[in-house]
Structure 1
Amino acid sequence: MEGGFFCGRLLIAMPGIGDPRFERAVILICAHDEEHAMGLALNRPIEGLTVPQLLEKLDIRSTITLPPDLVLMGGPVERERGFVLHTADYKGEHTLGVGEDVALTATREVLEAMANQTGQPRRALLALGYAGWGAGQLEDEIKQNVWLTCEADEALIFGDRHELKWGRALGKLGVDPERLGAAAGRA
């Protein structure tokens, strides 16, 4: 965690977070500095909305058969705005590096790249909305044991077993979800 910022790390919601929008959430922090933090939930699929369906609604023609991956609800802020989290092999004009091999693009050009064999990222997910924090808010929530943090990995970020991501993220820390209580405390 260089300079105290969490960009490229995962947030894992603690039980009893007190906000149903984030219950059992796993969020990748995509941007973080002294003024704000922004992340995308990785385990909140929007039932009944697939990436091919959304691309069709946006009138983006696909030259390949896309897998029926579900679109994710990235967070409660600007839920009509789309974000593509992808491997860093794709770089558009407005692509933001998130981690060592992960990037974020929020332009139509990445959607067009996903729909075509040439230039598409090796792996990608599409999310609507994002989670956001003001200056110092995320740090305060972490100090209050609202979130645990861990290293991100490609399998956890881009995997399609959304219901398992929270437990898998906790497992990266050696935490058994069955033994985790809702009450926070200090040792």
Structure 2
Amino acid sequence: MALSRLTDTRERGFLDGQFLIAMPGMQDTNFARSVVYVCAHSAAGAMGFIINRPQAISFGEVLLHLKLADQNDVIMLPGETREFPILSGGPVETGRGFVLHSDDFSSSSSIPISDEISLTSTLDIIRAICDGHGPARATMLLGYAGWGPGQIELEISSNGWLNCPASEELIFDRAVDGKYERALASMGISPEMLSSEAGHA
């Protein structure tokens, strides 16, 4: 699904603002035990971000790669900024960075996802975070997850995913470990209760 579709608010699907939680039988290793925050869903497809898969790269390394700071600048960053979370958002455009954040930051390229959450994919938000003027809550993701027309609906009907309302707390929680279990717990489900061969009511 094209990212430009995010700006089209005329058509919204039932998965907008939902979590997709992978069932144990998920065959695609890109999504095993994943929790996906769906940012856009329509007849044209769906896109979102995996929120529970850490990247083996630090925020400081991102700054150095983008030439937004040198080694001394990175060393001088406050600890909380140096530990800014970098996640693997999905298998599409993995070299591209996106920042999901609270709506207290906005730039000309920011796209509102919900009443509380926006998406920005330009360097100005990275600079603002470095300068201490960034959003109160944010996480950076490399890549995103995308589905073509009707694809995610088919995967849900084939018992690939559970869906439930998204939680802002869980999206921005820096404790990535256990997010899968916590997302299931929000539905009153434990992993042991799930079966890859579960029937449909």
The partner residue of 2:18 within 1, 4, 9 is 9
Matched, 1:75 2:83: no
More strand by share: 1
Compute the TM-score of the two structures, normalised by the length of structure 2. 0.85
The partner residue of 1:24 within 28, 33, 39 is 33
104-113 or 165-174, which deviates more: 104-113
Matched, 1:58 2:45: no
Identity of aligned residues (%): 42
**1:90-169 residue pairs with structure 2 within 5 A?**
90-118=105-133, 120-169=134-183
Compute the TM-score of the two structures, normalised by the length of structure 1. 0.91
Structure 1: 5+ residue stretches without partners: none
Letter in 1 for 2:35: V
SS at match of 1:104: strand
What is the CA distance between 1:64 and its match in structure 2?
A: 4.6
Letter in 2 for 1:127: L
Give the whole-Å Cα distance in 2 for the aligned partners of 1:7 and 1:166.
19
Q: Which residue of 2 aligns with 1:37?
A: 46
Structure 2: 5+ residue stretches without partners: 1-10
Letter in 1 for 2:117: V
Give the whole-Å Cα distance in 1 for the aligned partners of 2:58 and 2:195.
34
Q: Which of structure 1's runs of 4+ aligned residues deviate more than 4 A? A: none
SS at match of 1:148: strand
**Do the aligned partners of 2:55 and 2:88 also contact (CA within 8 Å) in 1?**
yes
What is the CA distance between 1:99 and its match in structure 2?
A: 1.9
**Do the aligned partners of 2:24 and 2:33 also contact (CA within 8 Å) in 1?**
yes
